[in-house]
Chain A
Amino acid sequence: MATYDLTIPISEEAVRALHVGDAVRLSGVMVTGRDAAHKYMIETFIRADAVPESEQLLYEELQRILRGGIIYHCGPVVRQLPPPAPPPIVGGGWEFVAAGPTTSIREEVYEPEIIAHFGMRGVIGKGGMGPGTLRACQEHGAVYFHAVGGAASLIADTVKEVVTVYKKDELGVPEAFWVIRVEGFPVVVTMDSHGRSVHDEVEAASKAALERLLAGGR
C-alpha cells in the first residue's frame, strides 16, 4: 500500500501503477454526476443516434473534462455566494458546504460505457461497483476511488472552487453536473486496473463467515 498525489488529467501509466489499498490525494478539475446524470449521458450522448444541438455544448465540455478525468458520485449541499458573485461565469458563484460520496452501485448499469466513451481514468464514490465496471477499469485503464462515506464537511473543504454547474434547474441540486476544482481530495483505491476489487474480497469473506454463523446457530 502506497500513497500518491495525482493531478487530473491522469495518464494511463499513472493509473496502471495504482493497486487496491493505495491512498491517493487528488487535485484538479472533476465533475459530479449521479443517478440522473448517468442516465442522461447514456441516453443523450452514448446510445443516441445523434447528439441534439441543444446538448452539444455540454457534450463538448464533458468530453474535455472527462478525457483522463474523473466523475464523482456526489450530490452536494451547496450555498450561493452573495452577489456580486465571483467568478463572473455561468453557474459560478456557488460553494460546496457538504460533499461526501453517494452509493455507486446504482450506476453500475451505465458506468462501463461511460468510462469507455469518454476515456475516463476513474470514478469516485462509495460502496464499490460490479463486474462490468471492474472489467472496464481493466480494459481502458481506470480505477475506482473510494471516498469516505459521510465525510462531507471534510471533503467540501478540499473543493477550492465551483467552476460551473450544468443542468441544475432540470435535475435539481443533488443531481446536477457540478464542475469543481479540488486540492488534496482523499481517496483509497478499492478497485484497480488489474482486476482486483476489495469489495469482492470482503463480500466473499463475509459470506463465508455468515455460513459459519448460520451453521452453528441451532
Chain B
Amino acid sequence: MNDQVEFFVELIRRAATDLPADVEAALRTAQAREGPGSAAAGALETVLENVALARAHSTPICQDTGVPIFYVHHPQGMSTRQLRAHTEAAVAEATSRAYLRPNAVDSLTGRNSGNNLGVGFPTFHFEEWEEDYLRVDLLLKGGGSENVGVQYKLPYAPLKAGRDLEGVRRVVLDTATRAQGKGCAPGVLGVAIGADRGTGYVHAKEQLFRPLGDVNPLPELATLEERLLRECNELGIGPMGFGGKTTVFGVKIGAYHRLPACYFVSIAYMCWACRRARMIVRNGEVEYC
C-alpha cells in the first residue's frame, strides 16, 4: 500500500480507538465531581473503563464512528485530487479492519455502501497554506450528536434572542437543553456566529478542534465561552442525561462575517467521545499529535 494511504489509515485508527488527553482528563474531573454511587458517576466510570479498553484492544471507542470529516491544510502545488484518492482508499481499508463501521447509506435506496465511501462521503475541507508541510485534522462525529445540532436565525422570538452576544447566549443554552442526554453528554459545543447557512456548520465543527482548556483570543468571546460553560452545567442534565453536575466540557465560539440581512448561529454538538486527531506529513515523515 502507498505510504500516504498507510499514514491516513493510522490517523483513522488513532481517532477511532483513542481519545485526546484533554478530553480524557475532563472525563476524570467530571467523574470525581459527581456524587459517589450516583447514576452519573457510574456512567462516567463505565465511560473511562471503556476508553482504557478501546485503547488496549485498538477497537472503536464508540460503534458510531460517524462521518469522517477531514480538514486538510496543504502546501502550494500539492494535488488535492490525489489527497482525496489516498484518503478514500484509507477510509475503505480502515473499514475493512473494523476501525470504522460502514456508515455511508444511499439516501434513495437505503443501501449501505459497505466501505464508508459514497456521494459526499466522507467529507473534506481543503485549504492551501503557507507552510511547506501537510496537516490533516480528522473528526469522527457520530449521528446521535449530529442530530442534536441546531442552526438559529436571529432574531429568534421564542427565546427573545436578538442580534447580539446575549442572543447567542440564549440560543446556545436552548440547544444544550433541547439536546438533554441524546447527544451523549457531557458534550462540547462548537458555535459559529455569522457566515452563511452552509459554512456556518463547517466553522462550528472547526471550533471542536480547539483544546478544551484554551482561551478564545477575542476577550468578549472568551467571557461568553466561560459563562456558557458554567451556565450549561447549571442545567443539571448531567452525563447521559441522568442528571448531574457536568453537562458540557466546553463551549467554543468563533465569529465570522455575515450578510447584513442574516445573523445565523450554528451550533454543532460533539459527544463526550470527542474523537479528533491530527497528523503532520513533512518530507515523507509522519507525525501524529
Cα–Cα, bound, A146→B242 (Å)? 10
- With A146-B240, A154-B50, A202-B243 known as contacts, the answer to whether A172 contacts B114 (CB < 8 A) is yes
In the complex, the chain A residue whose C-beta lies closest to that of B184 is A149
Main SS at interface, chain A: mixed
Q: Which residues of B contact A116 (CB under 8 A)?
A: none
Contact of B62 among A1, A152, A213 (CB under 8 A): A152
Assuming the contacts A198-B242, A210-B235, asked whether A127 and B181 have C-beta atoms less than 8 A apart, the reply is yes
Spot the interface stretch: A5-13, A46-54, A62-70, A75-83.
Answer: A75-83
Could you tell me the distance between the alpha carbons of A203 and B155 in the complex, rounded to whole angstroms?
Answer: 25
Does chain A have a CB within 8 A of B231? yes
Q: Does B255 contact A (CB under 8 A)?
A: no
With an 8 A cutoff between CB atoms, is A109 at the interface? no
Find out whether the CB atom of B173 lies under 8 angstroms from the CB atom of A98. Answer: no
B166 touches which one: A79, A152, A217 (CB < 8 A)? A217
Asked if A154 and B46 sit within 8 Å, CB to CB, the answer is: yes
Bound together, the chains give a CA A74 to CA B60 distance in angstroms of 14
The digit string for A72-116, where 1 denotes a CB below 8 A from any CB of B, is 001111110000000000000000011110110100000000000
Q: Judging by beta carbons under 8 Å apart, are A103 and B42 in contact?
A: no
B177 to chain A: closest residue by CB: A210
The reply to whether B144 and A127 form a contact with Cβ atoms under 8 Å apart is yes
- Tell me the B168-213 residues at the A interface (CB within 8 Å): 169-170, 173-174, 177, 180-182, 184
CA distance in complex: A180, B243 (Å): 31
B contact residues, range: 35 or more
Q: Is A56 an interface residue (CB 8 A)?
A: no
Interchain CB contact under 8 A, B46 and A100: no
Question: Within B117-149, which residues are at the interface with A (CB < 8 Å)?
Answer: 143-144, 147
A102 touches B64 (CB 8 A): yes
Specify which chain B residues have a CB less than 8 angstroms from the CB of A17 in the assembled complex.
Answer: none
| A74–B63 touching, CB < 8 Å | yes
Closest Cβ of chain A to B87, distance in Å, is 20
CB distance from B69 to the nearest CB of A (A): 18
A98 CA to B65 CA, complexed, in Å = 10
Chain A residues, CB < 8 A from B143: 102-103
Interface pair B59/A156, CB less than 8 Å apart: yes
Contact mask for chain A residues 192-213; partner B; CB cutoff 8 A; 1 contact, 0 none: 0000001101110111011001
Other A-B pairs, 17, CB within 8 Å; known A75-B63, A102-B143, A156-B63: A98-B54, A98-B63, A98-B98, A103-B182, A149-B62, A152-B63, A154-B53, A174-B103, A188-B42, A199-B181, A202-B242, A202-B243, A206-B180, A206-B236, A213-B231, A214-B159, A217-B166
**13 intermolecular pairs with C-beta atoms under 8 Å apart:** A1-B37, A79-B98, A103-B143, A128-B180, A154-B53, A172-B111, A202-B241, A202-B242, A206-B180, A209-B236, A210-B177, A213-B231, A214-B159
